[in-house]
Homo-oligomer: A and B are copies of this chain.
């Protein structure tokens, strides 16, 4: 009976036929009412809340059409309507008008962004963003995976050696260790030269290849030393390096009604404790230069299909990463998107 339109939840800007203005208005009202009230919205309520001159019955007819299109849902016979994920998707793509960030909030954000910039402590933005959006905010930054520009080996007092890796964009990372056989100054220089001679060809991951080459072809007395140095250099640059991640605002969403039912908080707890998977989820957004919205099941991680994420990539100093705001699917997308967009633009821009 219900002519379900083919909905493709994974393509954000699917080319569904546009709704006519009448249905658009009703869908907008239902979505926004439900976002703020957290309850199914009925025809009477919509009429009263938006001072409509049409009768509840008319609204019901429109709602029914939207339900047939898969954009609204009926929890049960005598409840109001609730947007489906497709409904939110349509709202985000076609109905929602961007919101401008209020000047007061903007000032707070600007100040925090300035501080993050100068101190290279981008992760401090998570709490700010969490407070502004009243959702869960995540900020993950990792070293840029750039072409290697230079490698230095330096001896310190006390038998330690520093390996410093410079990337083409100016970022420098160092690691220190104490080799079993401390190389003499000449050997140290030989090792450095050996590496440098082969470096121009070396892309970021090619350091690993160099390790093998060293094992095979480097002068015997310094081979294992070179190997150790390269392994550490590679680890410094590799993506596998744990990114600095900061999460804040978990209370904000834990107190939402969707997380009151027993058991619904569990996935969130797992996510928070296992920050690796959180970072992996957020990584999917790091390529975006403008906020992308993942609604419910559009999120890869199956653990949190009751949530939505608004995220985008950022770059601060020598670091790259992503910011994301997470909350229940019933999320104030207008506000969140505008805030993420604002912060993201400021972090990416000059």
A266 touches B262 (CB 8 A): no
Main secondary structure on chain A at its contact with chain B? Answer: mixed
Which one of A47-55, A152-160, A206-214 contacts B? A152-160
Stretch in contact with the other chain, from A5-13, A74-82, A243-251: A243-251
Tell me the chain A residues, 119-167 only, with Cβ under 8 Å from chain B.
136, 149-150, 152, 154, 156-158, 160, 162, 164, 166
Contact with A273, one of B175, B249, B270 (Cβ below 8 angstroms): B249
- Does A62 sit at the interface, judged by CB under 8 A? no
* Range for the number of chain A residues in contact with chain B: 35 or more
Q: Is A114 an interface residue (CB 8 A)?
A: no
* Given known A-B contacts A150-B157, A260-B262, A174 and B172 have beta carbons under 8 A apart: no
A residues in contact (CB < 8 Å) with B? 136, 149-150, 152, 154, 156-158, 160, 162, 164, 166, 170, 172-176, 178, 247-251, 254-255, 260-263, 265-266, 268-270, 272-274
Known: A162-B164, A248-B274, A251-B266. 13 other contacts (CB 8 A): A152-B154, A152-B156, A154-B156, A158-B172, A160-B164, A173-B176, A174-B176, A250-B269, A250-B274, A251-B269, A261-B262, A262-B262, A269-B269
